[in-house]
Structure 1
Amino acid sequence: MQSKPSPASPLPAMSLAGVRVLDLSRVLAGPWCTQTLADLGADVIKVERPGSGDDTRAWGPPYLKDATGADTSEAAYYLGANRNKRSIAIDIASAAGQALIRRLATRVDVLVENFKVGDLARYGLDAKSLRELNPGLIVCSITGFGQDGPYKERAGYDYAVQGLGGLMSVTGERDDLPGGGPQKVGVAVADLFTGLYATVAILAALRHRDATGEGQEIDMALLDTQVAMLANLGANYLCTGRAPGRMGNAHQNIVPYQVFEASDGHLIVAVGNDGQFAKFAEIAGRPDWPQDPRFARNAERVRNRELLVPQIAAALKTRPRKDWLAALEAAKVPCGAINNLAETFADPQVQARGMTVAMDHPLSDSLRLVASPIKLSATPVAYRHAPPLLGQHTQELLREAGLDEAEIAALAQQRVIA
């Protein structure tokens, strides 16, 4: 596990140091984007509703536990997408709150929002209005279906987009087998991919802004992302006109590339080329397979998977999983165990790569989070702030924006801020 950074240690240079982001997003796609920017050094100001904040603060249990083992108000879901940010609680439905957002927008480089199409225009906080105040501002809007098209008014949720965007038609067991039928992916991949694509788009827009001084608007849609991430399956359909179906744990284009059952459990075999298949066949005690014209080349193995896969399944059932994994790994044939999350986080490679991080939190001294996978040699990710409490930095940020104590007190009395 990655240890806590020493408070006395100076922070290393960070790639996005000096970049300021106003984050009006909530739930997952937007916060995933802004957490990535924050991990890279951006100063991210998370704007939340007074009283309730980001919806995911209440998406529990599980919740972070305090020193006594009791639940706090901070849901694990929220904690997983909001580190390295500062929280300000502003009622943007009020005129005074809208004025504060405009003031903050003149002081930042990027604004990220995931309101429904047209909602921010009602408050005078749309991209056009804000960019008139700050021409260099980059505004990234994340919605379910984009700023135009017949579905633009619809609310967009990851689950629905996985279905509409075709992912559930290729995920799950084959329809002709027990348990067949539509299946969503176990994590919200449309949200997560959209957040990452949004991050890439923002970095590109920052480079353009730094070269020209010109900001721009970024229109990100969950459905667009879901269609793009169909990858080889989308290409398969466009090349053939035939929609691929569900294949369970098998691969559409490679054989053998799926889960098999050993004598005491399951393992993954992921043979990627004909040379690896020859090594695999030798280990499986079937050196005849690569000599068989039906199986010698991957294209033929795909065409004849119904003949080959049962033979492989029978062979793998004869020995324990650890024996297969040891032999296949020694021969450099891609393979793997199927871990639960406890086994994953206990895995020596995961630990060696520092894929968890401990952070100090105002309510708990035992906060552990999944670390960033980004490894940069000169400007590494730094873990500067635990996911903030609701409104934790409101007064600090308003002072930075030039408000005096009397102005801040008046806004608090009017319940514009919290």
Structure 2
Amino acid sequence: MTTETTPAGATKGPLHGLRILDLTAVVMGPYATQTLGDLGADVVKVEPPAGDNLRAVGPMRHPGMGAMAMHLNRNKRSIVLDLKQPEGRDACLRLAADCDALVYNVRPQAMARLGLGYEAVAAVNPKIVYIGAFGYGEEGPYAGKPAYDDLIQGAVGVASLFARQSGAEPRYAPVTLADRAVGLQAAIALLAAVFSAQRTGRGQAVEVPMFEALAQFVMGDHLGGHSFEPPIGPTGYARLLAPHRKPYATADGYLSVLIYNDKHWQS
């Protein structure tokens, strides 16, 4: 990728000129669009009159400007629209008419109720890429069900991996693992679909379901012997699940060491 330089000497990112309408909230969607904004895309974030719920979370110096919300929404412009009102919906469609992509992370049924489903948006901009990042694939048995990071970590087996490693009870990773891993995949899917639209002149709707996306993320390490039919061994990557895979206590703190092969051990 190359970058452009403005006359004043400021460097533009490689996605300069790409315009994204951001209808996301909380972590997963905002992380996807923030990544694109960091790369130079013009991201226009739409918030309801009460603001993104994440604004009230964590430490803050000023009301409504919580640390996580600020972290996840840098390099974005913002506008307040009440999408439940006809005027707000119409304003949103006018914005969509001039964007390369739209990103949302509520259930598709909610977008349809707002009058902002793919057909409505494509009617004003046939070339738009319409990215939905939500809980479960629309063709699976859990279609339409709500989901959050912790629930998806449990559903794909992340919580049980902690138990297999330590022998303790299952628990969740102390980071928003599902939101951030799937957010990155949503950003990648958006770029691929925009590339296709630039070549074909046609946009498309793309699903990035949390369950399916994180399942392949986890199973890449832990499907193990069940990668084959019939299975040739148990699930799980033994090295990652070993109880001694952890920092080691020393006199003045902890030391992280990885002996990955014989050469490391001998040295």
Calculate the TM-score normalised by the size of structure 1.
0.58
Equivalent position of 1:227 in the other structure: 215
Q: Distance in 1 between matches of 2:152 and 2:101?
A: 26
- Listed as ranges, the matches of 1:208-227 within 5 Å are 208-227=196-215
Alignment partner, residue 244 of structure 1:
236
Q: How far apart in 2 are the matches of 1:158 and 1:199?
A: 18
Distance in 2, matches of 1:175 and 1:28, equals 29
8 Å contact 1:58–1:75 — kept in the other structure?
A: yes
Moved more, 145-154 or 212-221: 145-154
Residue by residue over 1:76-128, the C-alpha shift from the partner in whole angstroms, topping out at 9 and shown as x without a partner, is: 11011000111110011011111111111111000000122311112321012
CA contact under 8 A between 1:258 and 1:270: conserved in structure 2? no
Is contact 2:107-2:134 (8 Å) kept? yes
Structure whose CA Rg is larger? 1
SS of 1:132 mapped into structure 2? helix
Corresponding position: 1:75 with 2:75: no
Q: 1:308-334 CA distances to partner (integer Å, 9 max, x unpaired)?
A: xxxxxxxxxxxxxxxxxxxxxxxxxxx
Contact between 1:35 and 1:82, CA under 8 Å: does it hold in 2?
yes
Aligned positions of 1:28-107 closer than 5 A = 28-50=27-49, 52-60=50-58, 62-63=59-60, 65=61, 71-107=62-98
Q: Does the CA contact (< 8 Å) of 1:237 and 1:244 recur in 2?
A: no
What are the within-5 Å matches in structure 2 for residues 265-276 of structure 1? 265-276=253-264
CA distances 1:7-54 after superposition (whole Å, capped 9, x unpaired): x9532132111111000010011000000111111111100101x111
Higher mean displacement: 255-264 or 228-237: 255-264
What number of residue pairs does the alignment pair up?
257
- Paired AA for residue 178 in structure 2: A
- 1:277, CA displacement in angstroms? 1.4
Unmatched 5+ stretches in structure 1? 1-7, 66-70, 280-418
Match in the other structure for 1:194: 182
- Counterparts of 1:277 and 1:229, CA distance in 2: 30
Change (3 A) 1:210 1:174: closer
Alpha-carbon shift at residue 145 of structure 1 (Å): 0.8
1:56 is aligned with what amino acid? Answer: L
3-state SS of 1:155 partner: coil
- The DSSP-based 3-state class of the residue aligned with 1:269 is coil
Contact 1:256 1:270 in 2 (8 A): no
When the two structures are superposed, what TM-score results if normalisation uses the length of structure 2? 0.89
3-state SS of 1:149 partner: coil
Where does residue 21 of structure 1 map in the other structure?
20
The question of whether the paired residues in 2 share the 8 Å contact of 1:256 and 1:269 is answered with no
- Residue of structure 1 in register with 2:172 after alignment: 184
- Quick one: distance in 2 between partners of 1:181 and 1:243? 19
Within 1, Cα distance between the matches of 2:194 and 2:113? 27
User: 1:172 deviation in Å?
Assistant: 5.0
CA–CA distance in structure 2, aligned partners of residues 36 and 158 of structure 1: 19
| Pairing of 1:306-385 with structure 2 (within 5 A) | none
Greater relative contact order (Cα 8 A, min sep 6): structure 1 or 2? Answer: 1
Q: Deviations over 1:204-253 (max 9, x none)?
A: 111111111111111011111220111221245434452439x8xx6248
2:158 to 163, 167, 177: 167
Q: Are the counterparts in 1 of residues 15 and 40 from structure 2 also a CA contact under 8 Å?
A: yes
2:3 matched to which residue of 1?
none
Q: Which runs of 5+ in 2 are unaligned?
A: 1-6
Compute the RMSD of aligned alpha carbons: 2.2
1:364-414 CA deviation, whole Å, 9 max, x = no partner?
A: xxxxxxxxxxxxxxxxxxxxxxxxxxxxxxxxxxxxxxxxxxxxxxxxxxx
User: Residue 258 of structure 2 aligns to which amino acid in structure 1?
Assistant: A
Say yes or no: does 1:207 pair with 2:195.
Answer: yes
TM-aligned CA deviation for residue 197 of structure 1? 0.4
The answer (yes or no) to whether the contact 1:205–1:215 under 8 Å persists in 2 is yes
Indicate the percent of aligned positions where both proteins have the same amino acid: 33
Deviation sequence 1:154-203 (CA, Å, 0-9, x none) = 11100011001111111257454xxx111211111100011100111111
The answer to whether the Cα contact below 8 Å between 2:101 and 2:131 also exists between their aligned partners in 1 is: yes
